[in-house]
């Protein structure tokens, strides 16, 4: 068995400590501080762009994410080195939140425009949200996006998974509940495609219905592009030597 790499070990520790903090301080308070809130929500703080990557919604959530981080992160870090691996990991997390929030805005802004056209002001829209009311002429989706929060290392891990796929395209992977070996070059794009379909249609295949599917896609795409660039330019002047 490959020994767990140092950066992966430190990331595991940070995630576990943040989860303990959620339990010790209280989920609602900790979420208000560190979960990624929709930027139009008054609960949004700039540091949440980073801190949400180390938050998790429950024991199963953190267990599966940390297992995936250990399984795929260790060989990727051994291949890339600590600095490149950490850059890839954080960049994938940022790519994840960028695509997810961008998709939220894509859904939210037309509804906000509709509310304004119905005669509401920006201040009135916020007051309706604060009172936990719904714009009946628009529907509950408007409120759902405003109050959306995002936690988890899944976006980071999807970036690591994409990097692993480029490193080992013929490695055979399996789903826990579907023990059929599939090569990484087919398995990983398939998982990403299912996430994309789920994000666009709301149809959940394997993950809970409240999963931030576009974050998975954003993380995977970021990890793929970074790894593709490094591999393509590893012998020329653009190489980042450690």
At 3 the pLDDT is 82
In this structure, the strands spanning 172-175 and 149-150 are unpaired
217 vs 235, higher pLDDT: 217
Alpha helices in the chain (DSSP H): 6-25, 27-34, 48-51, 59-68, 74-80, 82-117, 122-130, 141-146, 154-167, 184-201, 213-232
**pLDDT band with cut points at 50, 70 and 90 for residue 57:** confident
Q: How far apart are CA 127 and CA 166, in angstroms?
A: 49
**Three-state SS sequence of 140-166:** CHHHHHHCCEECCCHHHHHHHHHHHHH
Q: What angle do CA 94, 143, 62 make, to 5 degrees?
A: 40
Q: Residue 179: what are its φ and ψ, rounded to 5°?
A: -75, 60
**pLDDT band with cut points at 50, 70 and 90 for residue 28:** confident
**What SS3 state is found at 31?**
helix
**pLDDT band with cut points at 50, 70 and 90 for residue 128:** confident
Of the listed ranges 98-102, 122-126, 129-133, 153-157, the one predicted with least confidence: 129-133
**Three-state SS sequence of 99-128:** HHHHHHHHHHHHHHHHHHHCCCCHHHHHHH
Handedness of CA 208, 212, 200, 145 (dihedral sign): positive
| Contact by Cβ (8 Å): 192, 158 | yes
In this structure, which topology does domain 6-232 adopt according to CATH?
Rhomboid-like fold (1.20.1540)
Query: Is the pTM value of this prediction over 0.85?
Result: yes
Q: How far apart are CA 206 and CA 195, in angstroms?
A: 9
Q: How far apart are CA 183 and CA 173, in angstroms?
A: 6
User: For residue range 205-229, what is the model confidence (pLDDT) as tens digits?
Assistant: 666 666 888 999 999 999 999 999 9
User: For residue range 176-201, what is the model confidence (pLDDT) as tens digits?
Assistant: 666 788 888 888 888 889 888 888 88
Q: How far apart are CA 111 and CA 138, in angstroms?
A: 7
Rg for the chain (alpha carbons), in Å?
19
């Amino acid at each position: 068995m490959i020994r767990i790499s140092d950066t992966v070990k430190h990331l595991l520790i940070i995630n576990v400590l943040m989860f303990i903090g959620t339990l010790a301080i209280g989920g609602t308070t900790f979420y208000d501080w560190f979960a990624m809130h929709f930027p139009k929500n008054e609960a949004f703080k700039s540091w949440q762009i980073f801190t949400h990557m180390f938050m998790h919604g429950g024991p199963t959530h953190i267990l599966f994410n940390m297992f995936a981080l250990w399984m795929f992160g260790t060989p990727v870090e051994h291949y890339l080195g600590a600095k490149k691996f950490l850059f890839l990991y954080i960049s994938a997390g940022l790519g994840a939140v960028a695509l997810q929030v961008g998709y939220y805005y894509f859904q939210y802004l037309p509804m906000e425009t509709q509310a304004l056209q119905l005669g509401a002001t920006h201040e009135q829209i916020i007051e309706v949200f604060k009172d936990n009311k719904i714009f009946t002429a628009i529907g509950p989706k408007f409120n759902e996006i405003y109050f959306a929060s995002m936690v988890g290392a899944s976006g980071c891990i999807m970036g690591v998974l994409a990097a692993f796929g480029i490193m080992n395209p013929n490695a055979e992977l399996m789903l826990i509940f579907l023990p059929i070996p599939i090569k990484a070059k087919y398995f990983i794009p398939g998982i990403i495609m299912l996430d994309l379909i789920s994000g666009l249609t709301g149809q959940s295949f394997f993950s809970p219905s409240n999963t931030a599917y576009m974050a998975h896609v954003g993380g995977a795409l970021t990890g793929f592009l970074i790894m593709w660039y490094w591999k393509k330019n590893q012998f020329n002047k653009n190489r980042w030597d450690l």
